Chain A
Amino acid sequence: MSMGRTLAGKILARAAGRTAVEEGELVTCRVDLVMLHDSGGPRRVAPILERLGVRPWDPSRIVLVSDHYAPAVDAESARILDLTRRWGREHGVARHYDMVGICHIVLAEHGHVRPGMFVVGGDSHTPTAGAFGAFAMGVGASEMAAVLATGEIWLEVPQTLRIVLDGVPGRAVVAKDVMLALCRRLGLGGADYRVVEYAGPGLAAFDLDERLTLANMAAELGGITGLIEPDARTAAFLGALGMELAPEELARWRSDPDAPLASELRLDLAELAPQVAAPHSPAEAAPVEEVEPAPIDQAYLGACTGAKLADLRMAARVLRGRRVAERTRLLVAPASARVWREATVDGTLATLVEAGAILLPSGCGACAGYGAGLLAEGETCIASTARNFKGRMGAASARVYLASPYTVAASAIAGRICDPRPLLAEPVGSVAEEVRGG
């Protein structure tokens, strides 16, 4: 009776130095890659390491990213960034990305993640790296310090919840809509620390930028990691970064057909409408046509889920030749310096700016509530970020809706929550007028 293995099980077995692991078993894994950022990183772990009297076990396995407080908005943020820089230097961390983008995007676009890796990051959206078929879990600072001290972490081998995507998504339906719909269906945290593995023919519709969003928001589902089997698209993405994926690797890092699953959930992309999550939870999602067209003070395109090149291009498709509504501000914080550069070269940023967008620095910015673009009491915002918890983006009474870049852009034009589909169908110009007037 040979039982198949899940992709997660295969990665953990390898990291634990075993041929196989059983679900529910407690294992200790060697960590292949550690991601630290300025908020939960050196400022929190350095005092702990000092107290323990140890240095990081292997600086060559660390990637340090300054994104949460970058660029500094006050003396305290500046101090945190300075401390982060010094710590990196003192500990021989060669890979410090200082103000060049949001950690999860930086990891992806610099090719630090490859299939089969076991990654531990000091951030809850660390599962983003699962888009490459890596097991990537987020931890708090004490646990991170323990990882840095020992190079290891214990965990209970989790079960896998497989989400099978069928069909072809309709107009303006993208990864963010899939995730908001799943948040509603499973409930916030509904994956209960299982592995969220995305599979099915519907995945073909999603390029790596979109898969990053799927894996990233496994965090909202409460999964220990998101996971997508590597395929030709993954190989092409990594190949372009100079990392060849051998055919054996593609064949190895997959779930066996008879692997044990906690459950399987199917989602037909063809039946999915653009989603909007109402305040104050991603699980408050509903199809855009069922959501009250609330007036919008601020539209925000930002964060690791909502400001990658693909995201900005979506927004540009809607905004081209149109103007942001008079009482609405559209703020755009590209996810990284590379996104900024590529979106400049292909004209995307010019399109956004011509429509009235204000560009903000790359970084976590308003998403974490640390940077520029915060909300006043009573204001309403629609954002392409992953979370809309009460008080996260500024004042506690502010209301944040979540949606895809298409829907955020359409809402910026209309000045209220708006279905992007008509704007993508009709010739530019007439519909915009109609929407603004209505």
Chain B
Amino acid sequence: MAEIEGTAHVLGDAVDTDLLAPGAHMKGSIEELARHCLEAIDPDFVQRVRPGDLLVAGSRFGIGSSREQAAQALRLLGIQAVVARSFAGIFYRNALNNGLLAVVCPDHEGIEAGDRLRLDPMAGRLLHLPSGRSFACRPLPGHLLAMVEAGGLVPWLERRFRAAGRGPRT
């Protein structure tokens, strides 16, 4: 996967799945749910976010429930990647499984909302363009990046099954 570039939104620690995918909107479509993403802590987030943006967060991002709509909502809003000091285990799996890049970056001090960033997930490097500072991230192994690039676990499995001669019965 090549380097990606985008504008930062900055969040704190322990952003939980109820903030990302509020229970009150879980019955509706994912599009409807995504409109309420993070509204409990940042009512304008959905208005401000632009396709290609990056989320920069503190520790244990995505703690809480196993609902993968939390990752899907971010992806639907166009978030290219979440860069966090650490992730909650289930969310981390869900993000990659849903084609949302999740990169662990233990130190990203000084990044502010609106800053331009360049991320190399394979090499494990986050570049803060305004200052030219570079932050070390945990590199993502090639096979996981390939899965993310394929759009997530399901499209990736689809390929695998096709290759093995199993596939949708039409």
Contacts and interface: CB of A to CB of B under 8 A. Distances in A.
Interface size class of A (residues with CB under 8 A): 35 or more
A270 interface: no
Interface in A205-230: 222, 224
A127 to B, nearest CB: 11
A374 to B, nearest CB: 8
A422 interface: no
Contacts of B163: none
B99 to A, nearest CB: 9
A146 B153 contact: yes
B154 interface: yes
B21 to A, nearest CB: 11
Interface in B69-103: 71, 86, 88-90, 92-94, 97-98
B102 to A, nearest CB: 13
Contact of A142 (B14, B94, B169): B94
Q: Of B26, B59, B60, B65, which is in contact with the most chain A CB atoms at under 10 Å from its CB?
A: B65
B63 A391 contact: no
B158 A189 contact: no
A369 B152 CA distance: 29
Contacts of A48: 154
A369 B27 contact: no
Given A53-B169, A142-B98, A390-B18, A188 B154 contact: no
Nearest to A391: B40
A145 B156 CA distance: 12
Nearest to B59: A189
A143 B19 CA distance: 22
A149 B40 contact: no
B60 A222 contact: yes
Interface in A176-226: 187-189, 192-193, 222, 224
B94 A193 contact: no
A189 B85 CA distance: 13
A76 B166 CA distance: 34
B1 interface: no
B157 A149 contact: yes
Nearest to B94: A140
B168 interface: yes
A187 B60 CA distance: 10
Interface string B112-148: 0000000000000000000000000000000000000
Given A51-B158, A140-B94, A193-B89, A387 B64 contact: yes
B66 A122 contact: yes
Interface string B4-18: 000000000010111
Contacts of A187: 60
A292 B154 CA distance: 49
Nearest to B158: A52
A392 interface: yes
- Those 9 A-B pairs whose CB atoms lie nearest each other, nearest first: A369-B23, A140-B68, A193-B89, A53-B168, A189-B60, A140-B94, A389-B18, A124-B66, A138-B66
28 contacts: A39-B67, A52-B157, A52-B161, A52-B168, A53-B167, A69-B27, A77-B27, A122-B66, A126-B66, A140-B71, A140-B93, A140-B97, A141-B68, A142-B94, A143-B94, A143-B153, A145-B154, A146-B153, A146-B157, A189-B63, A189-B88, A193-B88, A222-B60, A222-B63, A387-B64, A389-B16, A389-B18, A396-B40
Interface of B: 14, 16-19, 22-24, 26-28, 39-41, 59-60, 63-68, 71, 86, 88-90, 92-94, 97-98, 152-154, 157-158, 161, 166-169
Interface of A: 39-40, 44, 48, 50-54, 69, 74, 76-77, 80, 122-124, 126, 138-143, 145-146, 149, 187-189, 192-193, 222, 224, 281, 283, 368-370, 387, 389-392, 394, 396
